[in-house]
Amino acid sequence: MLVNDKAALRRILAHAGIGLMACCAMTGAAHAADAAVASVPPAQCGAGSRPETALQGQVPAADRISGRSRLGYSCNLSLTGQYQGEGASLVSAVAGRCAYVPTAYGGIRKKQFQGVQVIDVSDPARPQRVASLDTRAFHVGTWESLKTSPAGNLLAGAGVGILYGTNKLDLYDVSDCTRPRLLNKDAGGTDSLPVDNLAHEAEWSPDGRTYWIASNAAGLLSAIDVSDPAKPRNIYYGGSSIFLNHGMSFNADGTRMYLASMFPAGLVVLDVSDIQLRRGGTPRVRQLARLKWDDGSISQQATSVSYRGRPYVIVADESGSNGTNGAVRIIDVSDERNPKVVSVIRLEIQQKQHLEARRQDLAGDGLFSYDAHYCSVDGRNDPTALACGYFNSGIRVFDIVDPLKPREIAYFNPPAQTGRNARLPASDHAGMPALGTLDGVPQATDSSGLKLADLSADWCPSPPRFVNGQLWVSCQDNGFMVLDFTNGVYPIRR
């Protein structure tokens, strides 16, 4: 989806349960130069791969029509195990030997299992669902707020949706990861206590004492003190000086927040020390810098890393602008008041000259194009690899040993589940209305006769996780998967 398609943009915002609301006065912002024209160097596929048939990252219309996309594509990554279930929603979490996979609120009347699914991955070749967590927030959907604490012992998720998700927050002890235990119980003991918040995204502070929640509405941020996870309490509820928020990360001591900005696309650096240090009086969040760019929109997520002690932030765009898809950017924040983009990861299919190809490929699909959503690294200090989940382009892995010269080393785009919408009520993608039709591709309809997304390529919006040398991933139509690297591309030797 391109931002200059205003009607489609409104549909995305409506589907996400958000409105075009502004909050605080905008201050001056630095402007990043347009991204480099060149695509990121592509992976060199070794034995056992099933390479893409067209441009880097593309599932061409011809493959969608012929059924080739139902075989999937792989390069130096192989599927080890899978739990597809009924599909998955946006962002999954991991703790110990377990994965926690959310399900779409839109399929609530059709799903066999509600809420968040607990997947035991003790045997990576045979992941198994062992429980469902169906308390207040998990029931209505956690969208991009389902996160495990830095210590890996707590799982939190906020209810998303202005009308039905407000003030919902579930906190679980996942020390025994297959048997999560609700901590913030209400008086009845079976559901969670309400906590003031308005959610879309969330992240833990590095010390695990604060669960931060970002809302799209009016740029709101909520800080929830979880020092006593049985009695979480809101200690900050206010604006962030930008129109609409998205994902965030923090510096090592938690006093600086790196916040992805939806509109305008970019990164905001915030001083959150009043909250992190629990200073007395009325806490404030202070904007230190704002960096924006024009060749992307709906910046989705920020990941903080460091190289030899120098801080960087990696930001992924969820959408594009002016005919170009978004990108993943590596930003030097060593001067916190003057952040600078030092490199850009853009796939070949995302380039402006391939706009018409994208339109043809995605004619029968839902709202999203070939864009990244969430990324993760194999370590916060001196990382060597970055793995990103994309809409339509699957899971992509990049060598980032040199943050100025990223290169692709592997990808895995799972088999398309074309026409299987009815079997996947937990997938937001499967319930998404189509924007059109790609002739020759089967297209399901809902009970009212409305055409649904053709599922001719999967959506993989969840952050891929590096676990014991593997990647644990979830895609909306294929569910949870364990991937193994092949051909010696990972671990990366420095």
The verdict on residue 64 lying in a domain is yes
Residue 81 has pLDDT above 70, yes or no: yes
CA distance 112 to 426: 9
Q: Which residue, among 353, 294, 332, has the nearest Cα to 37 in the 3D structure? A: 353
CA distance 423 to 22: 39
What is the domain extent for residue 352? 6-485
Look up the CATH number of the domain holding residue 216.
Answer: 2.130.10.10
The verdict on residue 1 lying in a domain is no
Q: Kindly give the residue spans of alpha helices, DSSP state H, lying in 173-316.
A: 273-276
The verdict on residue 157 lying in a domain is yes
Q: If you average pLDDT over residues 231-255, what whole number do you get?
A: 88
Q: If you average pLDDT over residues 221-231, what whole number do you get?
A: 97
Burial class (CB in 10 A: 0-12, 13-18, 19+), 281: exposed
The verdict on residue 435 lying in a domain is yes
Q: If you average pLDDT over residues 229-239, what whole number do you get?
A: 94
**Confidence at residue 12, expressed as pLDDT on a 0 to 100 scale:** 34
Q: pLDDT tens for residues 411-439? A: 999 999 999 999 999 999 999 999 899 99
Tell which wins on pLDDT, 485 or 21. 485
**Confidence at residue 243, expressed as pLDDT on a 0 to 100 scale:** 61
The domain tally of the chain equals 1
The verdict on residue 203 lying in a domain is yes
The verdict on residue 490 lying in a domain is no
Q: If you average pLDDT over residues 45-64, what whole number do you get?
A: 99
Strand ranges across the sheet with 77-83:
77-83, 479-485, 470-475, 465-467
The verdict on residue 128 lying in a domain is yes
Q: Which residue, among 394, 374, 389, has the nearest Cα to 71 in the 3D structure? A: 394
Banded pLDDT at 216 (limits 50, 70, 90): confident
The verdict on residue 13 lying in a domain is yes
Q: Which residue, among 263, 343, 274, 262, has the nearest Cα to 305 in the 3D structure? A: 343
**Confidence at residue 2, expressed as pLDDT on a 0 to 100 scale:** 35
User: Greatest CA separation found in the chain?
Assistant: 64
